[in-house]
Amino acid sequence: MSMQKRARMNNEDDCRDILVPSSDVISTVGASSSPDLSEPNLPSQSAVFSPVISDLELLESCPVALASAPEEWSCLTDLLPRSVNAEVEVSDTKVPQGTFSRDHGKKINYRIFDRKVEYAFEGRIDNIRSNGDELMKLNSLPDGGTGWHKFGKICVSRKEIAKGSNGTIVLEGIYEDRPVAVKRLVRAHCDVASNEIQILMSSDQHKNIVRYHGVEYDPDFVYLALEHCACNLDDLIQAHLDSSNNSAFRGDPASTDDYKIKLDSVRGMMQDVNLWRADGYPSPLLQKLMRNVVSGLSHLHDLRIIHRDLKPQNVLITKNRPFCAQLSDMGISKSLPEDKSSLGYHAGCGTSGWRAPELLLHGGRQTQAMDVFSLGCILCFFFTRGRHPFGENLERDYNIAHNKMDLSFVDIPEAHDLFSCLLNKDPKLRPKASEVLHHPFFWSSKTRLSFLSDVSNKVEFETRAGNLDLLNALESTAQSVFVGNWEDKIEPAVRAELWRRRHYDGSLVRHLLRAVRNVYSHHMEFPEEVKEILGPVDDALDAYFAIRFPRLLIESYRVVSQICIRKELLTGVLSK
């Protein structure tokens, strides 16, 4: 079909037929079909720009604006790189001149000149005189460009990073001279790509959301250029497990050679990364990664976005900038309407084993609480070296739906309490994402000691005023906090120094809190012998009491929470 014949078409139905390019139409304009990314040879000179040119020519020949294009093409105007006030110039006849790329904050106009593409950026013209220039750029790529293909600003290799559903794969790539991960989606799912771009453009200014760079396409695929990360959370955890147990997920491809090679690569990149201390507890770095995930989700929720598919594979780990975790894969994320707190009933979103119970039981309402449940599973996965609170792969959905949760392997009281709250079967009882980082699990040693001191001061004040609710609630936790007399767990030299200042009753939680408060406040005044036993402030001193009374902090926190004075106490503590 000639260009003149297509230009004469003024019927909307005819134009809709043109907008879906067939192989014969593509060959007519001299363009090849979508390149096979598995082909090890370089593309020919005549094919470097052919996928883009063919689509542009097809669009130019159509007298119908994109707004009236078929529904499956309606997302084209959304599939554009970030821009503040950018626009795509079109002619007076409303014929689209090109909507395939847009530089940040700049106007761009595409015109076709005898198989040459001219870019106009705010009056600056860069002419690509020949495809030989592009081949020189390809030759400068890793491996001399072998196996690489160029689509606009995105160069794509054949090296696969990850694989998703519906034909989606992630490949190594380059975007404007920076390494990127190229997410290739089947063109039929351009609505998913459009949605992901919109979500990322509104949220990726946050350091814990993966960065979006740009988009290109050919007749068959959409290519998203995203920030390149070292690995995902699942890979990171599996790489740190013993070689005899490379996968916490039975049935995962951990036994395949490719997966083992991938884990070996991750181990090489992360050989200086310590996720757990010698005693098996999470390292400060691991806790930082857990905070990153919470911060990223809190940011999305502040923007009224529900992620809808949180899982370890969608938590990416980067080492390029400060070591951190980032949330990714926003293809099925949704924004809440301004006047709504849910998206209605839907059971199909998310991944098996990571979905909230309300989605498994009759397709409950979709709220931000569904993300909080998935967050609880992910944080538990972090903490326990890849274990899941609802068991192995095949039994998880059933256990989630029937509230058969197992946290017996979580031996830190603060972690156990946090996971229990996040995984509450009732979505209304789960904390908000913005509240999670205020939980004692994430507190520093200084904050923990300050909180216990403030609780002690508060109970003394309330008791003198005749208000015994706080006192009675605290004393009811005595059997959980210690057995018998708490003074028996204190060294004689420390006990003597405490008694020198006041009298203590070893059967009272109130007096144990006072002892912690006095040691923290007067540590510098103690004899060197006592200070050596207690250790320096803050980390060692916190550990001294946490080892002897591991449940003191969480039981005090629960009491304060239950009698509704947590905010009053924490406001001063968390501001320090």
Q: Which residues are catalytic?
A: 309
- Report the amino acid identity of residue 453: S
Rounded distance, CA 292 to CA 407, Å?
23
Expressed in angstroms, the distance from the first to the final Cα of the chain is: 74
- Work out whether the CA dihedral 508, 510, 515, 520 comes out positive or negative: positive
What DSSP line would sit under 489-535, residue for residue?
A: GS-HHHHHHHHTT----TT-HHHHHHHHHHHHHHGGGS-HHHHHHH-
Residues 6+ apart with CB under 8 A from 335: 199, 303, 304, 305, 306
Measure Cα distances from 397 to 105, 258, 377, 544 in Å. 46, 28, 12, 41
What pairing do the DSSP bridges indicate for beta strands 154-163 and 169-175? antiparallel
Radius of gyration of the chain (CA): 30
DSSP at 244: G
User: How many other C-beta atoms are found inside a 10 Å radius of the C-beta of residue 523?
Assistant: 17
Angle between helices 445-464 and 509-522 (to 10 degrees): 120
| Angle 311-314-316 from CA coordinates, rounded to 5° | 125
DSSP SS3 for 109: strand
CA atoms of 244 and 251, how far apart (whole Å): 15
Which value, to the nearest 10 degrees, does the dihedral of the CA atoms of residues 16, 25, 76, 200 take? 150
Alpha-carbon distance 207 to 210, whole Å? 8
Q: Which helix (H) or strand (E) holds 391?
A: none
Q: 198: which 2 tokens?
A: 């919109």
CA distance 75 to 19: 13
- State the greatest distance between any 2 C-alpha atoms of the chain, in Å, as a whole number: 102
- In contact, 346 and 308? CB cutoff 8 Å: no
Euclidean distance between CA atoms 217 and 55, whole angstroms: 9
- Among 567, 561, 550, smallest CA distance to 470 is for 561
Q: How far, in Å, CA of 137 to CA of 45, rounded? A: 12
Q: Residue 453: CB partners within 8 Å, gap ≥ 6?
A: 516, 517, 520, 521
d(CA 80, CA 213): 10
- CB atoms closer than 10 angstroms to residue 344: 9
